[in-house]
Structure 1
Amino acid sequence: MTTGLDTEVENTPASTPAPRRKRSGGGLGRYILVRFLLIIPTVFILMTVVFFLMRITGDPITAALGGRLTPDQLAQRRAEAGYDRPLIVQYFDYLGGVLQGDFGMSYTDRTPVTEILTTYGGATFELVVYAVVVALVAGVPLGMIAARTRDRWPDAVLRVVAILGYATPVFFVGLLLKLVFSAGLGWLPVAGRISTRGELTMGSILNPSPFYLLDALRLGRVDVLIDVASHAVLPAIALGVLTGGIFLRLVRTNMIGTLEMQYIDSARSRGVSESRLTTRHALRPALIPIVTVMGMQIAMMLGGAVLTETTFEWNGLGYMLAEYMKARDYVAVQGIVMMLAVIVALSNFVVDVVAALIDPRVRY
């Protein structure tokens, strides 16, 4: 017998499941637009901070020529460069030039900053790509092995390796690699992007690109390709070890959590082998955190590229940034830092969009 109270309870809205909220295309489009627009204030704030911080140390003309010119000559040089004007005036002049695509001209070598960015940006991009490949090739398989051998000696060894990987300074790893494989064994070049002979050979290419590996492939010379690749090995390892250790820990942690889920137990009860469970069922969920932190890792790699390029005399933006900072070349430093900020912001934007598409936990 059914009472009126029972009928009322059965018909209450709480007894019916709430409809699932579907993602709409407009929501995704709005999310992408907002994330893209956030790039503008990010770059603007960093550009402003760098502009004023660089001027705290004094102007480059006084630093370079202070002891060799009379005070009148020094004042004349500062006036010609515009460093005698109020900072706020200099800032708005620089900002106006940036909005027009004019990043100025470096003081030390009188080179347009846009030319510096196009000339040396390709080298840094190439190095970061090599380092990402090293990090993925080393970190993902080792993380899988650590997860499958949880709490056994291979897992303990790999966890120590991961800690050493992301805790050891990049320049120390670079110097150690040079000491062992270049100075000691003589297997690999000690510095540079290519040998002098290879650079002369590459000079025969019409319309060369800033990417040596691509030009070597266009040239079709195996010896030049080997030359380029051998120069890239040690810098790529030195820069990739840091991110490789982080990837190892991420893959291990997330794969252990995935292997303990119910659907993995169900597949195991059906006789699915452990290797297939690891590679086919648990690997993809474990890679999602790598995608979500890739933007941050690229930022760390660009920071490490300054030390790596300086250690291996790899003529990229990091190497030139260190040189221009020593010379207190405001204009060149500002342009390079802003370019690096744009790269990091765009990388984070792409990573956020990819994460929103592949990870159901991301909400927009």
Structure 2
Amino acid sequence: MSSPTTTAEAPTAPTARRGRRAGGGLGRYILVRFALIIPTVWILMTVVFFLMRITGDPITAALGGRLTPDQLAERRAAAGYDRPLLVQYLDYLGSVLRGDFGTTYTDNTPVATVLATYGAATAELVVYSVIVALVVGVPLGMVAARFRDRWPDAVLRVGAILGYATPVFFVGLLLKLVFSVQLGWLPVAGRISSRGELTMGRITNPSPSYLLDAIRLGDGGLIVDVLTHAVLPAVALGLLTGGIFLRLVRTNLIGTLEMPYVDSARSRGVSEVRLATRHALRPALIPIVTVMGMQIAMMLGGAVLTETTFEWKGLGYMLAQYMQARDYVAVQGIVMMLAVIVAVSNFIVDVIAALIDPRVRY
């Protein structure tokens, strides 16, 4: 009589082991991916530190033409740049661990203040651009897959190639010429109008985000002002990634629509639109999630050109300014912050991908 009981209970053990392994696999995967953030940031920070010093110390690079040799020597000694390079590097690592990123030489501003002031502007621009990329890439990718190998598909594929192959600064200049100069619909540059900046001055404790402050004031006109200034930069940067999303959605949706379970649903009379939107779209979006972190890194790289083109004063804009001034302390801090943003974004995306598709964990 015990034999049937054993036979009935036997399958539950592998099932329990699989459940434990799946849970442990996800937890271990998250821990490993989180731990990789530290060496990623450290390696990039180290590379930037030594590359910045190939042409000399930061003080000589930033102030070499404005100070006498004696003044330069005095400033170098006071800052510790006359010490061995390895000692400077270890001292820099210690300062970073304490949250001290140094002070810029061109405007004598703490780098931490620069990061806090301008980081929110870059974060806003990236969020707007991701929204544009998803709004453009996902629906048009579905249309391209629906009309596979027909003229709408061909037109959209060519448009996608142009989207991610055209330099972002050229797209920005073209958008400014058409929608700002010729049509006068949108602002040419900046994050907010002069009148809006005066209105923002009423806030006692302003945040780095203009949009959040406008919402706090409850001023509808100010919110519109902030968003209209963001349209052209977000479109210029979002089209870069939107073309990639379009190709990914098209390719994966075509493959998913050929799966047996979709053919089974089709044989039951389910419409093609319902098949694409309800049965095949979610699996087709998994590749977009997995490459989202990499695309955010591309957006941050494109933000330097986009912010410079539209005078959008974020980290990219300030990075270009400090590089022209050869203020290497500021450059190091900004690049490190961008590295942290990319590393954390990749971590979040990897976790989301692992939750959507368990195969990612193994």
Q: TM-score, normalised by structure 1?
A: 0.92
Tell me the SS of whatever aligns to 1:361: helix
- Mapping for residues 38-57 of structure 1, pairs under 5 Å: 38-57=36-55
Give the equivalent residue in structure 2 for 1:74.
Answer: 72
Q: 1:67 to 1:265 in 2, by over 3 A?
A: closer
Q: CA offset at residue 213 of structure 1? A: 1.2
Give the equivalent residue in structure 2 for 1:305.
Answer: 303
Give the equivalent residue in structure 2 for 1:140.
Answer: 138
Give the equivalent residue in structure 1 for 2:263.
Answer: 265
Contact 2:125 2:234 in 1 (8 A): yes
Give the equivalent residue in structure 1 for 2:100.
Answer: 102
Q: 1:241 to 1:347 in 2, by over 3 A?
A: same
Alpha-carbon distance in structure 2 between the residues aligned to 1:24 and 1:181 = 52
Does 1:185 pair with 2:176?
Answer: no
Give the equivalent residue in structure 2 for 1:207.
Answer: 205
Give the equivalent residue in structure 2 for 1:3.
Answer: none
Aligned partner (choices 58, 61, 77) of residue 59 of structure 2: 61
CA deviation profile, 1:167-197 (whole Å, cap 9, x unmatched): 1111111111111111111111111000010
Contact 1:108 1:327 in 2 (8 A): yes
Does 1:337 pair with 2:335?
Answer: yes
Contact 2:145 2:253 in 1 (8 A): yes
Greater Cα shift, 21-30 or 205-214: 21-30
CA deviation profile, 1:293-336 (whole Å, cap 9, x unmatched): 11001111111111111111101011111111111112111111
Alpha-carbon distance in structure 2 between the residues aligned to 1:218 and 1:134 = 25
Q: Percent identity?
A: 84
Contact 1:59 1:328 in 2 (8 A): no
What letter corresponds to residue 160 of structure 1 in structure 2?
Answer: V
Q: CA offset at residue 337 of structure 1? A: 0.8
What letter corresponds to residue 56 of structure 1 in structure 2?
Answer: I
What letter corresponds to residue 139 of structure 1 in structure 2?
Answer: G
- Mapping for residues 233-244 of structure 1, pairs under 5 Å: 233-244=231-242
Contact 2:25 2:361 in 1 (8 A): no
Aligned partner (choices 35, 55, 59) of residue 37 of structure 1: 35
What letter corresponds to residue 290 of structure 1 in structure 2?
Answer: I
Contact 1:235 1:312 in 2 (8 A): yes
Alpha-carbon distance in structure 1 between the residues aligned to 2:349 and 2:290 = 6
Q: CA offset at residue 35 of structure 1? A: 0.8
- Mapping for residues 89-168 of structure 1, pairs under 5 Å: 89-168=87-166
What letter corresponds to residue 295 of structure 2 in structure 1?
Answer: Q
Give the equivalent residue in structure 1 for 2:5.
Answer: none
Does 1:353 pair with 2:351?
Answer: yes
After TM superposition, the runs of 4+ consecutive aligned structure 1 residues lying more than 4 A away are 19-22
Q: How big is the alpha-carbon RMSD for the aligned residues of Structure 1 and Structure 2?
A: 1.6
Contact 2:61 2:327 in 1 (8 A): no
Where in structure 2 are there 5+ consecutive unaligned residues? 1-10
What letter corresponds to residue 22 of structure 2 in structure 1?
Answer: S
Alpha-carbon distance in structure 2 between the residues aligned to 1:353 and 1:69 = 51
Give the equivalent residue in structure 2 for 1:292.
Answer: 290
Alpha-carbon distance in structure 1 between the residues aligned to 2:57 and 2:135 = 46
CA deviation profile, 1:72-124 (whole Å, cap 9, x unmatched): 23322322333222211111111111111111111111111111111111000
What letter corresponds to residue 246 of structure 1 in structure 2?
Answer: I
Where in structure 1 are there 5+ consecutive unaligned residues? 1-15
Contact 1:310 1:322 in 2 (8 A): yes
Q: CA offset at residue 64 of structure 1? A: 4.4
What letter corresponds to residue 199 of structure 1 in structure 2?
Answer: E
Q: TM-score, normalised by structure 2?
A: 0.93
Alpha-carbon distance in structure 2 between the residues aligned to 1:363 and 1:289 = 15
Alpha-carbon distance in structure 2 between the residues aligned to 1:67 and 1:38 = 41
Greater Cα shift, 59-68 or 39-48: 59-68
Give the equivalent residue in structure 1 for 2:4.
Answer: none
Contact 1:60 1:327 in 2 (8 A): no
Tell me the SS of whatever aligns to 1:151: coil
Q: CA offset at residue 68 of structure 1? A: 4.6
Q: 1:208 to 1:333 in 2, by over 3 A?
A: same
Alpha-carbon distance in structure 2 between the residues aligned to 1:68 and 1:33 = 50
CA deviation profile, 1:34-62 (whole Å, cap 9, x unmatched): 11111111100000000000111233433
Alpha-carbon distance in structure 1 between the residues aligned to 2:346 and 2:360 = 15
